[in-house]
């Protein structure tokens, strides 16, 4: 099996996590992948990244400022795309057109239409197109799935309540963060609902199946001023959302977050089966249950997911165990990168395809669409493009 020559496109914040992951993959399987190119519009970022990569593989990657240039050099067979959201489809389509397999960070394309274009191109060319999704792969999320679907300990999945109020008054006016593109809806497509919400939607799809319909309310209640390039601007992302989700499986869920209600911070993060619950004391409403989440079944002492994890592992056949935690990896980034590289090298399918990313994203967009129309929205209609008022202006702006 020839090593997969890989290019990393976008060498910013999350690409550092990917670098750690690629390093781990190479430590355990040096012949699987080699980073031959780094690409960033900000050249010093790509140079620094190449230097760091040279610290754990024999060769230093070539450095590029533009994707066209990287593709023209003809060395990469796979690309790991870690750019801002509005560039996901642009970079992915360029790579796919050049015959290069692609892993794209969540939310895998700016809009539903953008992701569909990517999928069509990948299918036409028979290339791997993966969504970089790390969260569902963690031991606690895998253990939660087992408790709900195989072990029988929690009975059948019923629903969840994941809500958080955490008062964080806006600073006056804050220096724009380095990743200021996020605060611009034209480049990010939205705030929590589509950003960390992409992880949330993937995790709940993993645990409960596809979302059938959504009622959502999204608001920007308090203006969040910031200074960018010496100019005063506003963070355009929502500071309040609340949604009710109905799944095709019959499961129902409540999901909400705000940072603008003063006087009483609180959270509730619980997943319910017919016999008990998984209760997460971390208050994280985006990433599914964490290792310290407690499993509570009537008449039994509470136990953490971390505590139960070895029993889940013991229940797995050697093949399944190797598929879920190859080489004993448990870090979600390492697992997603390994999965992608294996798929490119061997032709097998990835666990989280672009189609999965699309379905998670459509459920998140359904919340914005519902908020705009004031009506409950079927996710199927968002996927089919019948409901697209929220995304239409983004598609028009970027010519999608
Ligand atoms: N999985 C996770 O937990 C997680 C966490 C954070 C971010 N992300 C995702 O990762 C992606 C990137 O987010 P980030 O926080 O790393 O952003 P970032 O701003 O830190 O990094 C983006 C990088 O892309 C580069 N870039 C911009 N335009 C480019 C172009 N035309 N060609 C090449 N490079 C270009 C920028 O210079 C920057 O270095 C987003 O999709 C985001 O949602 C995922």
Q: What is the pLDDT along the chain (400 residues), one digit of tens a residue?
A: 689 999 999 999 999 999 999 999 999 999 999 999 999 999 999 999 999 999 999 999 999 999 999 999 999 999 999 999 999 999 999 999 999 999 999 999 999 999 999 999 999 999 999 999 999 999 999 999 999 999 999 999 999 999 999 998 776 777 777 778 999 999 999 999 999 999 999 999 999 999 999 999 999 999 888 887 777 788 899 999 999 999 999 999 999 999 999 999 999 999 999 999 999 999 999 999 999 999 999 999 999 999 999 999 999 999 999 999 999 999 999 999 999 999 999 999 999 999 999 999 999 999 999 999 999 999 999 999 999 999 999 999 999 9
Domain membership flag for residue 368 = no
Domain membership flag for residue 250 = yes
Rounded Cα–Cα distance for residues 35 and 122 (Å): 22
Is 84 touching ligand 1 by the criterion CB < 6 Å?
A: yes
Ligand 1, atom 6, residue with closest C-alpha: 14
CA distances from 377 to 19, 204, 244, 399 (A): 39, 18, 11, 25
Is 224 touching ligand 1 by the criterion CB < 6 Å?
A: no
How many other C-beta atoms lie within 10 A of the C-beta of residue 384? 12
Please report the pLDDT score of residue 232 as a whole number: 79
Same domain flag for 145 and 77: no
Same domain flag for 201 and 93: no
Residue 118, Ramachandran bin (φ over 0: left; ψ between -120 and 50: alpha; else beta)? alpha
- Counting ligand 1 atoms within 8 A of each CB, the residue from 7, 83, 237 with the most, and so the one to mutate, is 83
Gap from CA of 389 to ligand 1 centroid (Å):
26
Rounded Cα–Cα distance for residues 118 and 379 (Å): 20
Is 41 touching ligand 1 by the criterion CB < 6 Å?
A: yes
Displacement of CA 112 from its chain's centroid (Å): 15
Same domain flag for 102 and 183: no
CA angle, 93 as apex, 65 and 356 as ends, to 5°? 120
User: How many domains does one find in the chain?
Assistant: 2
Residue 190, Ramachandran bin (φ over 0: left; ψ between -120 and 50: alpha; else beta)? left
Is 259 touching ligand 1 by the criterion CB < 6 Å?
A: no
Is 42 touching ligand 1 by the criterion CB < 6 Å?
A: yes
Same domain flag for 189 and 322: yes
Same domain flag for 45 and 99: yes
Gap from CA of 81 to ligand 1 centroid (Å):
8
Ligand 1, atom 25, residue with closest C-alpha: 10
> Can you give the CATH number for the domain in which 263 is found?
3.30.360.10
Same domain flag for 174 and 309: yes
Same domain flag for 17 and 146: no
Displacement of CA 365 from its chain's centroid (Å): 14
Strand partners, 175: 227
What are residue 318's phi and psi, to 5 degrees? -55, -35
Is 87 touching ligand 1 by the criterion CB < 6 Å?
A: yes
Helices (H) and strands (E) in the chain, counts: 14, 18
Residue spans of beta strands (DSSP E) within the chain: 4-9, 33-39, 62-64, 78-81, 101-105, 129-132, 157-165, 174-175, 211-219, 224-228, 231-235, 240-247, 252-258, 266-273, 276-279, 294-297, 303-304, 377-378
Q: Is 381 exposed, middle or buried (0-12, 13-18, 19+ CB in 10 A)?
A: middle
Same domain flag for 110 and 237: no
Same domain flag for 306 and 160: yes
Gap from CA of 336 to ligand 1 centroid (Å):
17
- Counting ligand 1 atoms within 8 A of each CB, the residue from 42, 61, 64, 84 with the most, and so the one to mutate, is 84
Ligand 1, atom 28, residue with closest C-alpha: 41
Instruction: Give SS3 for 104.
Output: strand
What is the C-alpha end-to-end distance of the chain, expressed in Å? 38
Same domain flag for 209 and 309: yes
Gap from CA of 145 to ligand 1 centroid (Å):
30
In the sheet that holds 129-132, the strands lie side by side as 62-64, 33-39, 4-9, 78-81, 101-105, 129-132
Please report the pLDDT score of residue 231 as a whole number: 79
Same domain flag for 157 and 291: yes
DSSP letter, residue 100: -
> Can you give the CATH number for the domain in which 43 is found?
3.40.50.720
Gap from CA of 357 to ligand 1 centroid (Å):
17
Rounded Cα–Cα distance for residues 382 and 159 (Å): 23
Please report the pLDDT score of residue 260 as a whole number: 93
Is 68 touching ligand 1 by the criterion CB < 6 Å?
A: no
DSSP 43-75: HHHHHHHHHHHHTTSSSPPEEESSHHHHHHHT-
pTM above 0.85, yes or no: yes
Rounded Cα–Cα distance for residues 14 and 49 (Å): 12
Same domain flag for 12 and 43: yes
Is 387 touching ligand 1 by the criterion CB < 6 Å?
A: no
Ligand 1, atom 18, residue with closest C-alpha: 12
Residue 288 in tokens:
């599914």
User: Residue 23 belongs to what domain range?
Assistant: 4-134+331-351
């Amino acid at each position: 099996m020839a090593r997969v020559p890989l290019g990393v496109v976008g060498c910013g914040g999350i690409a550092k996590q990917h670098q750690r992951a690629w390093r781990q993959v190479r430590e355990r399987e040096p012949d699987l992948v080699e980073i031959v190119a780094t690409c960033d519009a900000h050249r010093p970022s790509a140079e620094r990244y190449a230097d760091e990569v040279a610290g754990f593989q024999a060769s230093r990657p070539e450095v590029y400022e533009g994707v066209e240039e990287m593709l023209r050099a003809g060395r990469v067979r796979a690309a790991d795309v870690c750019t801002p959201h509005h560039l996901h489809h642009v970079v992915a389509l360029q790579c796919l057109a050049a015959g290069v397999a692609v892993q794209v960070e969540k939310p895998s394309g700016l809009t539903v239409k953008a992701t569909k274009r990517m999928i069509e191109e990948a299918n036409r060319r028979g290339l791997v197109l993966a969504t970089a999704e790390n969260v569902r792969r963690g031991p606690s999320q895998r253990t939660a799935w087992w408790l709900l679907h195989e072990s029988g300990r929690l009975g059948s999945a019923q629903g969840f309540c994941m809500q958080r109020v955490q008062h964080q008054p806006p600073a006056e006016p804050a220096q724009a963060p380095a990743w200021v593109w996020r605060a611009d809806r034209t480049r990010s497509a939205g705030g929590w609902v589509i950003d960390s919400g992409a992880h949330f939607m993937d995790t709940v799809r993993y645990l409960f199946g596809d979302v059938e319909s959504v009622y959502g309310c999204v608001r920007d209640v308090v203006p969040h001023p910031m200074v960018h390039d010496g100019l005063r601007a506003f963070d355009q992302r929502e500071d309040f959302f609340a949604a009710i989700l109905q799944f095709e499986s019959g499961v129902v869920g409540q999901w909400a977050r705000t940072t603008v209600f003063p006087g009483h911070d609180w959270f509730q993060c619980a997943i319910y089966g017919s016999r008990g619950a998984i209760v997460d004391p971390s208050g994280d409403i985006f990433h599914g249950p964490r290792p310290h989440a407690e499993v509570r079944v009537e008449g039994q002492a509470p136990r953490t997911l971390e505590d139960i994890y070895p029993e889940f592992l013991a229940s797995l056949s050697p093949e399944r165990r190797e598929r879920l935690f190859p080489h004993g990896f448990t870090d979600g980034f390492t697992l997603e990168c390994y999965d992608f590289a294996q798929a490119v090298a061997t032709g097998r399918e990835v666990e989280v395809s672009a189609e999965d990313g699309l379905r998670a994203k459509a459920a998140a967009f359904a919340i914005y669409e519902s908020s705009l129309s004031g009506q409950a929205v079927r996710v199927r209609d968002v996927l089919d493009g019948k409901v697209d008022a929220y995304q239409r202006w983004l598609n028009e702006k970027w010519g999608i």
